A and B are shown apart, each in its own frame.
Chain A
Amino acid sequence: MFVELNNLLNTTPDRAEQGKLTLLCDAKTDGSFLVHHFLSFYLKANCKVCFVALFQSFSHYNIVGQKLGVNLTVARERGQLVFLEGLKSSVDVFFQTQEEPHPLQFLREANAGNLKPLFEFVREALKPVDSGEARWTYPVLLVDDLSVLLSLGMGAVAVLDFIHYCRATVCWELKGNMVILVHDSGDVEDEENDILLNGVSHQSHLILRAEGLATGFCRDVHGQLRILWRRPSQPTAQRDQSLTYQYKIQDKSVSFFAKGMSPAVL
């Protein structure tokens, strides 16, 4: 996890808020560093994490996780991490017979209406185990990324329904958190992605938006991060809702600074 980002969000693994949906979106840049941040953040907070990883392989996340101080293999063996590796298990849908529907069953069906099997997988993974002792603090669902489901043929409303049900179970019933990544293609013709992005935005409590610089690629400033807090439980008279920072990604950390205040420029 990136300590500077924790400071900007005013949170630490020990005292993070529960029952919140965080939306990560990226436009014209790669926002996956935010996914790695939250994965290591919640593993360090001793949460039970269900990671629906549709974009990269397990070893990719493991390598980056080790730089950030978490070991995904050990976490998976301990039962703290439930990892759905989309790239590998999508092949299992076709080559393995299973009694109960596979989470990615929609790949097989011509007219897949909904993502109910995927939701049941998540619910099963995060349901509290009646072992008597509470090993993990609270459950967390991480999805990387949701736009892949659109490319695989699901409609935007079906994906929104999946997020709705996950929110009802993970955030409301189990008092856990959700972190979802959606790409913003910026393509005016991609209406389904816009509906998905806006629909999840309206449901989220915190939006982190990584954008490339408007002026193009830069060696010392990799992009700009906009932080938008929504849906406070108490509406306040004056809300300081939105902050913008620029960032530079290094090997094991990300440094944040105010706009125009990059150390390379000062």
Chain B
Amino acid sequence: VTLSEGARAGIGRELGMLDSLLSFGGLVLLRDSVEWEGRSLLKALVKKSALCGEQVHILGCEVSEEEFREGFDSDINNRLVYHDFFRDPLNWSKTEEALPGGPLGALRAICKRTDPGPITIALDSLSWLLLHLPCTTLCQALHAVSHQDSCPGDSFPVGKVSVLGLLHEELHGPGPVGALSSLAQTEVTLGGTKGQASAHILCRRPRQRPTDQTQWFSIFPDFSLDLQEGPSVESQPYSDPHIPPVDPTTHLTFNLHLSKKEREAKDSLILPFQFSSEKQQALLRPRPGQATSHIFYEPDAYDDLDQEDPDDDLDI
């Protein structure tokens, strides 16, 4: 059952930026850390894609298929195709079960499909792929996959491809992370404060300015998203509304207040180093009754008194 475009847009409209991540296609990078894990959000986005009627492929390298499917109900699980690279990714057991071509081979096989519907590919995780494959190979494969719908050479018109990549930020240097970031249309960085998770979403659309938004969220046990306004009130420091704020100036041994007369006297006081026109006149006009001052000097024996003014030759 595929939902109509209108229904899909309706689901997207009421849920904000976090939920419209997948509507544009391309690569969505989910950057998580040890403290704020991103697999729950990955599973929530996978569930949303599945509910929209898309086919979802999971390249599972880090957790078992059972663990990934846990929490999804059966109609969602029927839409998920899990490519298992968890049990034996490096073919140490030397059995015939190993999928040929490795994870990138599986990725290319998914994209050689013939049905034109939109698909979502979840990479769990991009970090595993980045540690085991050369960065350039991985970037080229991701570029080929996420730009497939714009490639003119295909004989079949293929639908939108969304790629969700889970990236553990601390495992890689700035070079590979920067390369993946430049390939991505959307980057979601997980963080939060105590008890409340947040997602910082950076969207880059062609011919538009990049937009960013921070969305607080939590995830229900059935992996549906609960968008929230901000960190919940209980997590803020405790403040009792019944205790009135204390005024610190009430019980002092010195006086901090001015009476009206004192305030007027203060405002009309001229500061000693403020140069006003009255002060200028007072300095220029000698006050009557002021005796001129003299300097009396007794020259010492070794003083050299020269009556000439050394500044005479200055032309001021």
Q: Which 6 A-B pairs have the closest CB atoms?
A: A198-B170, A235-B40, A201-B34, A235-B219, A234-B221, A237-B218
Query: Which chain A positions have C-beta within 8 A of B132?
Result: 157
* Number of residues from A at the complex interface, CB < 8 A: 32
Q: Is the CB of B171 within 8 A of A164?
A: no
* In the complex, B24 has a CB within 8 A of chain A: no
- If A116-B92, A233-B70 touch, whether A172 touches B195 (CB-CB below 8 Å) is no
Query: Which chain B positions have C-beta within 8 A of A165?
Result: 88, 90, 92
* In the complex, B131 has a CB within 8 A of chain A: yes
Binding site for A on B (CB under 8 A): 34-35, 37, 39-40, 62, 64, 66-67, 70-71, 86-90, 92, 127, 131-132, 168, 170-171, 173, 195-196, 218-221, 223, 226, 232
Q: Is the CB of A237 within 8 A of B71?
A: no
Q: Is the CB of A198 within 8 A of B171?
A: yes
Q: Which of A114, A207, A235, A239 contacts B90 (CB 8 A)?
A: A114
| A to B CB contacts below 8 Å, 18 in the list | A119-B92, A164-B89, A168-B64, A168-B86, A168-B87, A168-B88, A195-B131, A198-B34, A202-B127, A233-B70, A233-B71, A234-B221, A235-B218, A235-B219, A236-B221, A237-B226, A238-B196, A242-B35
Closest partner residue, chain B, to A194 (CB atom): B170
Query: Which chain B positions have C-beta within 8 A of A114?
Result: 90, 92
* In the complex, A199 has a CB within 8 A of chain B: yes
Q: Is the CB of B71 within 8 A of A234?
A: yes
Closest partner residue, chain A, to B223 (CB atom): A235
Query: Which chain B positions have C-beta within 8 A of A164?
Result: 89
Closest partner residue, chain A, to B172 (CB atom): A195
Q: Is the CB of A198 within 8 A of B168?
A: yes
* In the complex, A130 has a CB within 8 A of chain B: no
Q: Is the CB of A237 within 8 A of B220?
A: yes
Measured in the bound complex, the distance between the Cα atoms of B170 and A201 in whole Å is: 10
Q: Is the CB of B64 within 8 A of A202?
A: no
Query: Which chain A positions have C-beta within 8 A of B220?
Result: 235, 237
Interface-centre pick from B87, B171, B218, B220 (highest chain A CB count, 10 A): B171
Measured in the bound complex, the distance between the Cα atoms of B67 and A202 in whole Å is: 15
* In the complex, A160 has a CB within 8 A of chain B: yes
Measured in the bound complex, the distance between the Cα atoms of B32 and A201 in whole Å is: 12
Measured in the bound complex, the distance between the Cα atoms of B66 and A116 in whole Å is: 25
A218 CB, min distance to chain B CBs, angstroms: 27
Measured in the bound complex, the distance between the Cα atoms of B132 and A191 in whole Å is: 17
* In the complex, A67 has a CB within 8 A of chain B: no
Query: Which chain B positions have C-beta within 8 A of A168?
Result: 64, 86-88
Q: Is the CB of B90 within 8 A of A228?
A: no
Query: Which chain B positions have C-beta within 8 A of A242?
Result: 35
Query: Which chain A positions have C-beta within 8 A of B35?
Result: 228, 241-242
